[in-house]
Structure 1
Amino acid sequence: MKIRLPSSPTRGEGRLGGRQSRGGRPSAPTELSKQWAGYLCNGQRITDGRLLYLKNLKLIHFRSFSSMEVEFIRGVNLIYGPNAVGKTNLLESIHILSNLKSFRTPGISELIQWDSDSASILGEISSHEGGSKSLAVLVEPNKRTAWVHGKRAYPKEYLSLFPTLTFVPDDLGMVKGPPPERRSFMDKGTFQLYPTYWADLSEYNQILKQKNALLKQEPLLGGSTRSDLELLPILNEQMYKVGSKIIQSRLEYLKKLKVALQKVYASWLPGHENIRISYKSTLGKDVLEVDQEGIQRLYRAALQKMEEKEQRYQTSLIGPHRDDLDIFLNERPIRQFGSQGQQRSAILALKLAASEVYFEHHGEYPALILDDVTSELDPSRNEGLFTYLRKDFQVFISSTVKLSYLGNLAPCSFLELPS
């Protein structure tokens, strides 16, 4: 895809021109005008500052894009155009550059243009010191690899370099869906605060896998062998020691998130509703009132109590892999009693609160990726949202229409994807 620009900056507006080719040799991309990219909607310029943000992005054979380059500003970047022109594809590529996975599909082969062997996503991220980092994700049919300055990077090192929070229409499952979606939200936020959380979670999942494999062995259903029975208590001990650390880390994160959530709701939706979150543990409510040693005691006792039941069901029934996050609106479960608009607002508020917690810990905000958010909220909530985003956020938003009023609320750049 070629990028065609006006001959001079026009109040922060740009247009992507040309044809999205599904085959043949991709056209050589034209670089976005440096002069144009720095303008606000009101014709003023902004400086890059020292905060973390995505400066530019290049896509090669990614979904509908044969080749594309685009530059972004630190404020609001609105990507608009009719349906099926690649707006969500563009946001998805930014999410993958940050998280090494898609918010749309677990199948990475779907990300590669159908007539190509691989896809590439490259981006330049400003650093804390005012320099930059070159990030890249190479997607092949059966694997994806991360690169920093042209060198391979391990995921646990890479994932902290360009933090993002994403809101998409399917996020409604975070309220209505099963617990894994809410656990994933907690885990991501906790990891961003406590880097060792990744290792704890990986160790726990390995122990869990071993224990479940043991529980599914036939001897445990009838005449158990001595070696099998001796191994189970060992795995349980390992599980409660590591699992208690995970629960304690989650609780510490949620304590900060609760405070931030109240502030977000008061600022974004003053006088609308009261929102509250609570950790729901398989160890019971007492887990909220004790320290890590207390969590270990509760965990050990629960495992002993559930030992026979776990053998009967052939799976692990106790631990952080079964825990959940309860969300209440005006003291009633939002899952059952909240309207769809209230549920979407609550999800977005949780993600904004997570960004505030990240800022308190790291001194910068993660980038926000908002897919079609304006069509999911009523006008008053939309206006409150963009007023709130006057802070030092970098935001990527998709819309079917050009939201000109954004220019009065926040620094912004308009990018049109043609049909």
Structure 2
Amino acid sequence: MRVAHLSLGDFRNYKAAELELHAGANLIVGRNGQGKTNLVEAISYFATLRSHRVSADSAMIRAGSPAAILRMRVAAGERDVVLETQLNRVGANRSQVNGNQVRARELTRWFTSVMFAPEDLSIVRGDPAGRRRFLDDALIARLPVASGVIADYERVVRQRTSLLKSARSAGRGSAAVLATLEVWDDQLIEHGVRIMLARQELVRDLEAPLAAAYTALVGEDHGPRLSLNESVHEAQREVSRETVRGSAPGAPIVSRETLTDQFRDALLQVRGKELERGVTLVGPHRDDLELELNRLPVRGYASHGESWSFALALKIALATVIREESPAGDPVIILDDVFAELDRGRRERLMAVVSEFEQVIVTAAVEGDVPEGLSWNRIEVAAGELTQRGDDG
């Protein structure tokens, strides 16, 4: 899979832009603030339906414009697919595949990418929300239908939480409130269990490629490990921590039926607290991904270099898993201003690993940060203007 062409209209600092990309290594170079990251942000949007930088789509629309147009031609084997989305300041976004209107989530079926960006450091050093976002984006990249399940789950959490808040003023013991809450419980459990099982499978499948990728980047085996801390088990085990270890590499697989029962029991255990606080306390939206090096938490113990290497290895592991499973071929690899954060050795080892993928797109402010020895399709960016330089070695 590769991006053949990208067209933008009124997106970020681009009134109009046309970008041609090749198979292999593509370098987008230019000073900071010229629009390099905006280009790869647009590309990755088709894979995740959101920006890696901002939470609101409206922030990506050019100032003074009512909408932005993103159009991308994707080559997968012998087939080309044209994906298009219109981001609107007012009203719902609109999406098309080959000129046919579709639901936005359909776009993720046709394009997969894995982005490496400075923001990735928050996966290992930030709060749980960043790690949950990584898990959700990874699930969508691995199985596009997951975007619908995640969207449905988030909708249920919002509506269930709204009911809990209103219950505080209506009376906690109201029979009508409790009956309605049980309806939302069923939906929360249904969608939540699907997400939890998919996350557990993902964590297990990332274990081996994570270890291999970390060793390839660092040259040493520091025993990188992943495990899930799942809030469903807090109420059952009656511990004081907000979450406890849920799914670790090598842990026994829990059936859907068992997890459903555990989820329902946990909701009953925290019912009083939820009604008192007006918050949904149990479910995937409260879980965390635990990261370890040498049996110590990465957060708080790992050095800056180790933290960066772990984040990069995690993304490489995800790309490896997708590559092995996807009938459409390799995911597109995007490295957004990453080399500036790494020493020369890690730059070269990272590029050696990702060069095995069908297409790599790199942004850099300083061309000297980019490893040598590759034939690059080179694009220069200056004040929102693109200059195609073609291949150079």
- Using structure 2 for the length normalisation, give the TM-score: 0.85
Number of residues of Structure 1 aligned to a counterpart in Structure 2: 366
Hey, what does 2:291 align to over in structure 1?
327
**Letter of the structure 1 residue corresponding to residue 161 of structure 2:** N
Q: How does 1:192-231 map to 2 (within 5 A)?
A: 192-218=141-167, 222=171, 224-231=173-180
**2:354 equivalent among 389, 397, 403:** 389
**Stretch deviating more after TM superposition (298-307 or 367-376):** 298-307
- Is the alpha carbon distance of 1:199 and 1:146 closer, same or farther for their aligned partners in structure 2, counting shifts above 3 Å? closer
Q: Assess if the C-alpha contact under 8 Å between 1:220 and 1:311 holds in 2.
A: no
**1:96 equivalent among 45, 55, 64:** 45
Inter-partner Cα distance in structure 2 for 1:197 and 1:223? 34
**2:305 equivalent among 323, 338, 341:** 341
- Is the alpha carbon distance of 1:101 and 1:320 closer, same or farther for their aligned partners in structure 2, counting shifts above 3 Å? closer
- Is the alpha carbon distance of 1:235 and 1:361 closer, same or farther for their aligned partners in structure 2, counting shifts above 3 Å? same
Map Cα deviations across residues 281-304 of structure 1 (whole Å, 9 max, x no partner). 012346653222221222222222
Hey, what does 1:357 align to over in structure 2?
321
Q: How does 1:266-281 map to 2 (within 5 A)?
A: 266-271=215-220, 273-281=222-230
Inter-partner Cα distance in structure 2 for 1:205 and 1:361? 27
RMSD: 2.3
**Letter of the structure 2 residue corresponding to residue 400 of structure 1:** A
Hey, what does 1:136 align to over in structure 2?
84
How big is the shift at 1:217? Answer: 2.0
Hey, what does 1:187 align to over in structure 2?
136
**2:184 equivalent among 223, 231, 235:** 235
How big is the shift at 1:241? Answer: 3.6
Q: Assess if the C-alpha contact under 8 Å between 1:137 and 1:144 holds in 2.
A: yes
Q: Equivalent residue of 1:273, what SS?
A: coil
Q: How does 1:7-406 map to 2 (within 5 A)?
A: 52-128=1-77, 130-142=78-90, 143-218=92-167, 222=171, 224-271=173-220, 273-284=222-233, 285=245, 288-289=251-252, 290-363=254-327, 364-403=329-368, 406=371
Q: Equivalent residue of 1:217, what SS?
A: helix
Map Cα deviations across residues 46-74 of structure 1 (whole Å, 9 max, x no partner). xxxxxx10011222232222332221111
Inter-partner Cα distance in structure 2 for 1:201 and 1:341? 33
Inter-partner Cα distance in structure 2 for 1:131 and 1:390? 23
Q: Equivalent residue of 2:18, what SS?
A: strand
Inter-partner Cα distance in structure 2 for 1:206 and 1:312? 21
**Stretch deviating more after TM superposition (379-388 or 108-117):** 108-117
Hey, what does 2:376 align to over in structure 1?
412
Map Cα deviations across residues 376-415 of structure 1 (whole Å, 9 max, x no partner). 111111110011123123111111222496452x443222
Bigger Cα Rg = 1
- Is the alpha carbon distance of 1:223 and 1:61 closer, same or farther for their aligned partners in structure 2, counting shifts above 3 Å? closer
Map Cα deviations across residues 131-186 of structure 1 (whole Å, 9 max, x no partner). 21112222332343222222222122111211111222122222222222211211
Inter-partner Cα distance in structure 1 for 2:168 and 2:49? 41
Q: Equivalent residue of 1:106, what SS?
A: coil
Greater strand percent: which structure? 2
Map Cα deviations across residues 328-353 of structure 1 (whole Å, 9 max, x no partner). 11111111111222222211111111
Q: Assess if the C-alpha contact under 8 Å between 1:220 and 1:228 holds in 2.
A: no
Structure 2 regions of 5+ residues with no counterpart?
Answer: 234-244, 384-393
- Is the alpha carbon distance of 1:271 and 1:292 closer, same or farther for their aligned partners in structure 2, counting shifts above 3 Å? same
Inter-partner Cα distance in structure 1 for 2:31 and 2:140? 37
Inter-partner Cα distance in structure 2 for 1:296 and 1:223? 25
Inter-partner Cα distance in structure 2 for 1:308 and 1:236? 14
How big is the shift at 1:218? Answer: 4.2
Q: Assess if the C-alpha contact under 8 Å between 2:347 and 2:370 holds in 1.
A: no
How big is the shift at 1:105? Answer: 2.1
Inter-partner Cα distance in structure 2 for 1:370 and 1:167? 5
Q: Equivalent residue of 2:63, what SS?
A: coil
Question: Identity of counterpart residues, as a percentage?
Answer: 29
Inter-partner Cα distance in structure 2 for 1:297 and 1:191? 26
Q: Equivalent residue of 1:326, what SS?
A: strand
**Letter of the structure 2 residue corresponding to residue 266 of structure 1:** T
- Using structure 1 for the length normalisation, give the TM-score: 0.80
Structure 1 regions of 5+ residues with no counterpart?
Answer: 1-51
